[in-house]
Amino acid sequence: MLRAAGRVAVPWRNGGGVTRNVAAHPEGAGTAGFEWRVSLADVAADGPFSGFPGVDRILTVVEGAGMDLTVGGQRRLVDERFVPQHFPGDAPTQCRLLAGPVVNFNVMYRRGRPAPSVAVVRGALTVAGPALVVALDAPVRVEAVVLGPYDAVLSDEGTASVQAEGRAAIVTLPRSGRAASPMR
C-alpha cells in the first residue's frame, strides 16, 4: 500500500517543477540508477522537461487542460486526459501549458530493458502481478483495500481484483522489477 499523503514533493532535476515518487526499482536507486520509476509531476509553468539519457517515458495527463510539447523538434499536442503518451526521455522536450497547471502521471524506464506498460481503465477487472494500481480520479478498490486519489497498491505476484469507480492507472511491471518499493 503506497498512500499519496506520505509522498514528498521533490524538485525536478532542472528545477522547473516538482515530482512525487510513487514507486521504483531497484529500491533506493534515485533518479540516476532506476530500472523503472513511477511518479506524479506538477507542471505549473511553461519550460523544458528534465532530460533522462537512455530512458523512455510514458506520460499521462491526469489533471488540467494539457500541454503542447515539442519533443526532439516534433510538435506533440497532449490535450486529452487519461491517454498515455510514449516518447524518449532523452529527447529535448519543451512544454507550453494549454490553460494552466497540469498533473502528469509518469512511468519512466531504461531503454533496452523489459518495458512496463500503462493502461488507464474504469470498471471491474483482474490484474496479474507484478503490477502497480494507482487511483487517478475516484476511489478504486483493490481486493479489500480502498484507494483514494493517487494512492497505489503494488501487487507482486498472483492476481488482484480491481474495481475502479473512476479511472485507475494499471502499470504492468517487468518481472525483473518484482522487488519494487517506494522511492525515498
Domains defined along the chain, listed by start? 7-110 (2.60.120.10), 117-177 (no CATH)
**Where does the pLDDT of residue 175 fall: very low under 50, low under 70, confident under 90, or very high at 90 and above?**
confident
Answer with the residue of higher pLDDT: 31 or 58.
58
Q: How far is CA 135 from CA 23, 47, 67, 105, 114, in A?
A: 14, 28, 22, 11, 24
Residues 6+ positions from 144 with CB-CB distance below 8 Å: none
- What does pTM read for this prediction? 0.90
User: Can you give the pLDDT at residue 178?
Assistant: 43
pLDDT tens per residue across span 136-158: 998 999 999 999 999 999 988 78
pLDDT tens per residue across span 83-125: 999 999 999 999 999 999 999 999 999 999 999 999 999 999 9
